[in-house]
Structure 1
């Protein structure tokens, strides 16, 4: 799936703001693409990890410690902003006023992605659903990269060169704020409840950040949303993408629906029934997560038998909800 956006040009001056996990991946990817990279971080050079010090020294990258200044950042072509940095800080406002693009990892990655991209966001459940989609696709024999906000950063995946058929990404609202032309073939919104309001200020702003996942989708793409979440229902009504599917507990208008341990996925030409009994996903939360993931891979062509195999073998990550016992009804 060809994405839009401009690739990095050789000699393009790019400042990387913030040398955390995403910033480190961006720094190395941009150097690989031939950009002239400058790095700005709140830590002094001596406070950086030894590997970062060695990489910056080896590639002779200009480094600014102790904060971000307009003097250091103002003479560049592009600003890469790490997701942990608010897009509303004064420096970024000043740089935008100078006409300098401020982009994040998704915007930089977009023009390099040719794989089928599945993106998952939501306040809760996105790690499990992302991992489950990856596991189900792998169970069907597909080559899959799973990452983004979990595991390997997307730009590290692109830099290493071994490409997959499917890219499954967990995305936070912070990452989506600076998504640029990033366009997932399938975008999944699980739920939106109050979170990160210290960053976004209001639920309207928080929801708007989540909605950016769908902003670049075309008539060939797919949006999947929860019918159980009031904000998701409102978002679904606002989306212009024609291929929209819902999941939940009510059969009406939901392509994936169920109760207890059982659910169905109805795509018109196939109606597949599943049970979560004796799986790690046998709970109400697991039901909704499974509906979202199974609906996704069914739309991608996975068979009922492949899905059942994947559900049976799936294991939750640490610190996730898991059914232990039903007591007193």
Structure 2
């Protein structure tokens, strides 16, 4: 991006970080945001004076052909669909459009591992980051986890190790992005409002390996039918290392009863037991095994991997214990933004559950989630635009213990009123947060505040 004029699409956290990298590389930035009421002063306040001088324009509302004169390239924020009219305008003008992780990758030094998948990414990436820190003095944990890749790419060195959480939105715009080790945690229906079909969604997730070679590795979930099929394709270049919570692959990490096992070509190692870790549920055991596999391929010795796995605590907003009150335990799983994640959180609860669900409509059905309610959920409290849809689905499956709440405070108070000692109150919405909250993090913080103020 040296001395090039680059159009940055989007002025959120990713767009700002991308602009800062472009400016640091000697490029010139023009911003575009579809919001016509965008506050330009707030955007510029995030830059130093020297940087601000190289931001030539802030365009907003609508992009015109005349705005593209002398533009060399465009960087798109992951939240922007590739079929937006202004993105199609760029394509028609033959202006290269890349994503934030591709831009970051162009400046990266050292070793890189990248994790994608429908669920488990944040926990897995956080754990990998902690393991890498035990081996590499300079470790960077970046990507969709909340710290933009572009914010740290220029600070990496040849001895650095970077782990990147990559969403399907980010994978849509990669060009040369090539991790030394990639991983796909699982693939279940999600974001079909953007990707339209499961076939498209699966293809995007699997594209994390598209630039990998025989020198690289990919870690895959042996229990995921799509990934098992993908891992056995003849044209898949990176070496495959499996992890499994049920069956035992010939090579890889797996669970045997309550013990974590690693099997290589010439030996089998018993590592530790499920009671030795602080994460709850089978899905978290899968996250641990995926993390161990990635770390091993990144060159971390097994003894260091085991030590970190035993100490690691749950990440915020993912089956996070909030408090116990009157014998009732409250858990925040605001990051359960899709059906499969919500199922895993529900299965992790060891007693009767009062469940808070609902939110933004991503055009998925809720049948699989509702089928898990029998024998587990005492009451379902629904919020957000999907509440009528979920209520209808619940009634269709014979579940009628449900209530509507107008906001999180009302939902939490309803649960507290109906809970008995030994019950669990769980926020695991199976939906995105948009509409009621800025993001899942805000939703989780509001939930925790409501619980703490009971």
| Common topology (TM > 0.5) | yes
Q: State the 1:226 CA deviation.
A: 0.6
Query: Kindly tell me: are residues 111 and 162 of structure 1, through their superposed partners in 2, closer, same or farther at Cα, counting changes over 3 Å?
Result: closer
Deviations 1:161-218 (A, max 9, x none): 6776210010000001001100001110111111111111111111111122100001
CA deviation after TM superposition for structure 1 residue 242, in Å: 4.5
How far, CA to CA, are the matches of 1:175 and 1:166 in structure 2?
Answer: 20
Q: 1:68 to 1:94 in 2, by over 3 A?
A: closer
Shift of 1:126: 0.5
Deviation at 1:58, TM superposition (A): 4.1
| 1:324 to partner: Cα distance | 6.4
Which of 147-156 and 66-75 deviates more?
66-75
Question: Partners in 1 of 2:126 and 2:238 — Cα distance?
Answer: 27
DSSP-derived class of the 2:255 partner = strand
Q: 1:202-251, CA deviations, whole angstroms, 9 ceiling, x for partnerless residues?
A: 11111111122100001100111111111112222335214111111211
Alignment pair present for 1:271 and 2:271: no
Q: For residues 66 and 135 of structure 2, what CA distance do their matches in structure 1 show?
A: 52
Number of aligned residue pairs? 320
Distance (Å, rounded) in 2 between the aligned partners of 1:58 and 1:42: 23
1:59-98 to structure 2, matched below 5 A, reads 59-98=54-93
2:17 equivalent to 1:25: yes
With 69-78 and 107-116 compared, the bigger mean Cα shift is at 69-78
Partner of 1:175: 170
Of 243, 246, 249, the residue aligned with 1:247 is 243
1:105 matched to which residue of 2?
100
CA apart distance, 1:278: 3.5
Q: What is the Cα deviation at residue 299 of structure 1?
A: 2.5
CA, structure 1 residues 190+43, in 2 after alignment: closer, same or farther (shift >3 Å)?
Answer: same
Question: CA separation of 1:310/1:54 partners in 2, compared to 1, >3 Å: closer, same or farther?
Answer: closer
Deviations 1:6-41 (A, max 9, x none): xx232x111001111111001111111111211111
Residue equivalent to 1:166: 161
> Is structure 2 residue 2 aligned with structure 1 residue 9?
yes
Instruction: Decide which of 291, 306, 309 is 2:307's aligned counterpart.
Output: 309
Query: 1:200 and 1:325 mapped to 2: Cα distance?
Result: 35
Q: Are 2:250 and 1:257 equivalent residues in the alignment?
A: no
Distance 1:162 1:46 in 2: 37
Change (3 A) 1:202 1:218: same
Match 1:318 to one of 316, 319, 327: 316
Preserved CA contact (<8 Å) 2:110 2:157: no
Deviations 1:263-285 (A, max 9, x none): 11122355332223132224211
Larger radius of gyration: 2
1:66–1:308 Cα change, 3 Å: same
Q: Cα–Cα, structure 1 residues 168 and 161, in superposed 2: closer, same or farther, change >3 Å? A: closer
Correspondence 1:130-209 to 2 at 5 A: 130-140=125-135, 142-160=137-155, 165-209=160-204
* Whole-Å separation in 2 of the counterparts to 1:326 and 1:217: 44
Unaligned runs of 5+ in 1: 1-7
Identify unmatched segments of 5+ residues in structure 2: 321-347, 353-374, 376-454
Q: Which shows bigger deviation, 170-179 or 225-234? A: 225-234
* TM-score with structure 1 setting the length: 0.89
Measured in 1, the distance between the counterparts of 2:251 and 2:29 equals 48
Structure with more contact order per residue of length (Cα contacts < 8 Å, sep ≥ 6): 1
Aligned partners of 1:65, 1:96: CA distance in 2, in Å?
Answer: 19
Q: Is the 8 A contact 1:259 1:287 kept in 2?
A: no
Is contact 2:108–2:154 with CA below 8 Å preserved after alignment? no
What is the TM-score of this pair, normalised by structure 2? 0.65
Residues 188 and 54 (structure 1), Cα distance of their counterparts in 2 relative to 1, 3 Å cut: closer
